[in-house]
């Protein structure tokens, strides 16, 4: 039986106090994710996809419901526990890279391990391994300002992977890249997913990026509107994604 890396049960997120105007960002969301899956989250602006990513990444707490990641219920953790869990078990790839400009690419990638007091020899081994996997082993001594956007994002992906997290969470990871660099990053992520069994959950508005996923959860008005599984070629899946997005657009227009 495949291990579940994420289990979300009846999660709700409500902003505002009871006697005030409340805004319901997530309504009764439930889904699970198997270890080694590559899942996309899509939906119109304001649909709740970023809120879902925030509660999964422990940056926000759900109002109701349970979230388990790597067998641990993150909704029951105290703040200091959450910080440790985030540092050890989660990897993040952001749209704007979030690299430290005064550190080399090597130092940026090594940062999660340095903060955990891992020995230098072990850090070197891990950095070199992930850099090779992402094709950036020749530029590790350069600074972020000296490399392209695509290379920066590969560095961010390497930093997300270096401590061998239970799951990688991507927030529009291709959003700041041109189509060629975006394709390169997605192909690298797909390879990591297939070859290394890395579990990836990615929020994206881009159907081309989403077509690299195995499964997509569409969110509309805070609810899980539809789920789409890839069964054949990426090109056909891309068209299926466009069809669902067109329906979502029509639903919105009809409100």
CA–CA dist 123, 48 (Å, integer) = 37
All domains of the chain, ordered by start, with CATH? 4-253 (3.40.50.300)
CB contact at 8 A, 190 and 183: no
Q: Which stretch of DSSP H or E encloses residue 90?
A: strand 90-93
pTM: 0.90
Q: Encoding tokens for residue 145? A: 């300002």
How many other CB atoms sit within 10 Å of the CB of residue 27? 17
In angstroms, the Cα distances linking 97 to 63, 92, 151, 172 are 30, 10, 10, 10
Q: How many CA atoms lie within 13 A of 179 on its CB side?
A: 3
> What is the residue-level pLDDT of the chain in tens, covering all 255 positions?
468 999 999 999 999 888 788 899 999 999 999 999 999 999 988 899 999 999 999 999 999 999 999 999 999 999 899 989 998 999 999 888 889 999 999 999 999 998 888 899 999 999 999 999 899 999 999 999 999 999 999 999 999 999 999 999 999 999 888 889 899 999 999 998 998 899 999 999 999 999 999 999 999 999 999 999 999 999 999 999 999 999 887 665 433
Q: Give the burial class of 117: count Cβ atoms within 10 A of its Cβ; 0-12 exposed, 13-18 middle, 19 or more buried.
A: exposed
């Amino acid at each position: 039986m495949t291990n579940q890396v994420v289990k979300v049960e009846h999660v709700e997120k409500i902003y505002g106090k009871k006697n005030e105007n409340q805004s319901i960002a997530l309504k009764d969301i439930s889904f699970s994710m198997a270890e080694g899956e590559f899942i996309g989250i899509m939906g119109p602006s304001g649909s709740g996809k970023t809120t879902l990513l925030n509660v999964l990444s422990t940056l926000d707490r759900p109002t109701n419901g349970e979230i388990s990641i790597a067998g641990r219920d993150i909704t029951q953790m105290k703040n200091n526990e959450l910080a440790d869990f985030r540092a050890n078990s989660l990897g993040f790839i952001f749209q704007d890279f979030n690299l430290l400009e005064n550190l080399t690419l090597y130092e940026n990638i090594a940062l999660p391990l340095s903060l955990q007091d891992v020995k230098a020899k072990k850090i070197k081994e891990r950095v070199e391994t992930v850099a090779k996997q992402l094709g950036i082993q020749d530029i590790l001594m350069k600074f972020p300002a000296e490399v392209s956007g695509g290379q920066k994002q590969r560095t961010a992906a390497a930093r997300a992977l270096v401590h061998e997290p239970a799951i990688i969470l991507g927030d529009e990871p291709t959003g700041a890249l041109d189509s060629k660099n975006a394709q390169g990053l997605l192909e690298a992520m797909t390879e990591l997913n297939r070859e290394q069994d890395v579990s990836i959950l990615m929020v994206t508005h881009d159907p081309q990026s989403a077509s690299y996923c195995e499964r997509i959860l569409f969110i509309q008005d805070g609810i899980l509107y539809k789920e789409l599984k890839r069964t054949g070629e990426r090109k056909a899946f891309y068209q299926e994604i466009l069809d669902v997005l067109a329906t979502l657009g029509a639903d919105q227009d009809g409100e």
